[in-house]
Structure 1
Amino acid sequence: MADPVPDPDVLLERGWLPPEAADRLCVTLLGELPWSVHRIRMFGRWVDSPRLSCWLGDPGTDYAYSGGHFEPLPWPPILAELRDRLAIELGAPFNSALANLYRDGNDYVGWHRDNERELGAHPFIASISLGASRRFVLRANDDAQRQMEWTLEHGDLLVMAGSTQQYWKHALPKSAKVKQPRINLTFRVVRP
C-alpha cells in the first residue's frame, strides 16, 4: 500500500500588506511593469498564456516553464523592497518573481505544479495577491476529490513550501463574476 499523500505545506496570512500599501503597489505595477503575453506549450501546441506576465529577478535567474524561456527584467525599487521584507520575514533568499496580471475573471491559470528544475526539489513560493478577490484551489495529484480552496484577497500572502509542489496541483479558475484586475506576485528562489 502506498504512503498517503501529505497535506500541503501552506500558510495564508490575511492582509499581510495593509490596504494603503496594497493599493499603492497595485496601481504602480499596473502602470509600470512591461506586461506581455507569454507563449506557452500546451497539449503539444503553442498558445498565448491566458493572462499577462512579467518575469523579474537577479541576473542569471532565467526561468523556463511550459516550453518557454524567460530572462529576468531588473527589479523595480518597489518590488526589491518587498522582496527584501519577505526574505527577512520568511527566511528565504528570494532572487526572482513572476508577476501575473489577470485582467478580469476570464483570465486564469489551469491546474499545474511549480516544479521546474530551477526551483529545486522543494520549491518555496511566496505569493502576494493584489486587486480583485479570486478563488485559489489546491488538489492532490492522486485524488482530484481531495481539494482545498481559499478566496485570496487584496494584500493577502500565501506561502507554499515543503513537498506541496510534489504532491499537489493548484489553479486560479475563471470567474464570470470578476470584472476587475488582479495581480499576483510569486516570489521564488531560482537555482542555477
Structure 2
Amino acid sequence: MPTPANSAIGHPIPEDAWLPLVQGRLLWCPHAFIEPADLWLAQLQNDIPWQQHRLRMFGKELNEPRLSCWMGERSYRYSGKTRAAEPWHPLVKKIAQQVSKLCGQPFNGVLLNLYRHGQDSMGWHADNEPALGINPTIASLTLGASRRFKLRHTSGEQLELVLSHGSLLVMAGEMQHHWQHALPKMAACHEPRINLTFRWLNE
C-alpha cells in the first residue's frame, strides 16, 4: 500500500512526498483537510445542484449510480456527453484554491460526485479526455464515508486505498495513459460520500 504524505493546509507538498509509480505519480494525504471536512460536507450536500445523469451501457439508457455536478469556467465533455458548467459555488472555489496551493497546480473546473450509499459506485475508467491535455493532474478530495478506491495498471498491477473523510488523493504524470481507477460498491456502507475531483481544462 502506498505510504501517505502529511502536509498542512496552504503549504505546498514537497516533491519527495510524491510516490513514483510505474508510468505515473501518486500522492495520498489522508489528513489534508480533516479540520474543515465536517462543515464542508454539510454545506455541499445541501447547496450543490446535484443531478442524476443518464448513460448508455450495452445499448440501454441507464441512470448513473451516483449524483453529480460539473462546476467551473467552461463546459466539459466526458462519457460521450457535454456537461454545461455550473458557476463556482463560493465554498467550492475556496476549496479549489487551497487544493491548488497544495498541488502547485491551477484548476478551472471540478466534477463533484455524490455517492449516496454503498450501492453508488464508479466503474473502471481513466480521466483521459482530450480537454485535459497529455498528462493531467487530477486532485480528488473525499468528504463523508470512507470508500475503497482501486487502481490497476495495464500490466495487471493493482493498488487499493481507503479514501477517508478529509483526505486528498492526487494522480499525475502518465497515470491516465497507463492506469485506470474505480470506486466499487460497498454493501456495508450506508453513509453518503462527496468526492470533488479538480481538473484543468485546456481551451
Task: Report the TM-score when normalising by structure 1.
Answer: 0.91
> For 1:100-179, what aligned pairs fall within 5 Å after superposition?
100-143=113-156, 146-179=157-190
Amino acid aligned to 1:97: V
In the alignment, which residue of structure 1 is the partner of 2:22?
6
Which of 104, 109, 115 is the aligned partner of 1:91? 104
Structure 2 segments unaligned to the other structure (5+ residues) = 1-20
Give the secondary structure class of the aligned counterpart of 2:181. Answer: strand
Matched, 1:32 2:47: yes
In the alignment, which residue of structure 1 is the partner of 2:67?
52
Q: CA deviation at 1:51?
A: 0.4
Q: Distance in 2 between matches of 1:41 and 1:92?
A: 33
The number of equivalent residue pairs is 183
In the alignment, which residue of structure 1 is the partner of 2:194?
183
In the alignment, which residue of structure 1 is the partner of 2:34?
18
Give the secondary structure class of the aligned counterpart of 1:187. Answer: strand
Structure 1 segments unaligned to the other structure (5+ residues) = none
Q: CA deviation at 1:46?
A: 2.9
Give the secondary structure class of the aligned counterpart of 1:86. Answer: helix
Choose 156-165 or 85-94, whichever is displaced more: 85-94
Give the secondary structure class of the aligned counterpart of 2:85. Answer: coil
Q: CA deviation at 1:132?
A: 0.3
- Contact map agreement 2:23 2:173 (CA 8 A) in 1: no
- Contact map agreement 2:75 2:85 (CA 8 A) in 1: yes
Give the secondary structure class of the aligned counterpart of 1:105. Answer: coil
- Contact map agreement 1:41 1:68 (CA 8 A) in 2: no
- Contact map agreement 1:42 1:66 (CA 8 A) in 2: no
- Contact map agreement 1:123 1:161 (CA 8 A) in 2: yes
Q: Distance in 2 between matches of 1:44 and 1:6?
A: 35
Q: What is the Cα-based RMSD across aligned positions, in Å?
A: 1.3
In the alignment, which residue of structure 2 is the partner of 1:68?
81
Q: CA deviation at 1:47?
A: 2.1
Amino acid aligned to 2:26: V
Identity %: 46
Q: CA deviation at 1:44?
A: 4.1
Q: Distance in 1 between matches of 2:155 and 2:70?
A: 31
Q: CA deviation at 1:72?
A: 0.7
Q: Distance in 2 between matches of 1:37 and 1:184?
A: 15
Q: CA deviation at 1:141?
A: 2.4
Q: Distance in 2 between matches of 1:17 and 1:56?
A: 20
Q: CA deviation at 1:42?
A: 2.8
Measured against aligned partners, the alpha-carbon deviations of 1:128-183 in whole angstroms (never above 9, x if no partner) come to 0000000000001242xx10010000000000000011000000000100000000
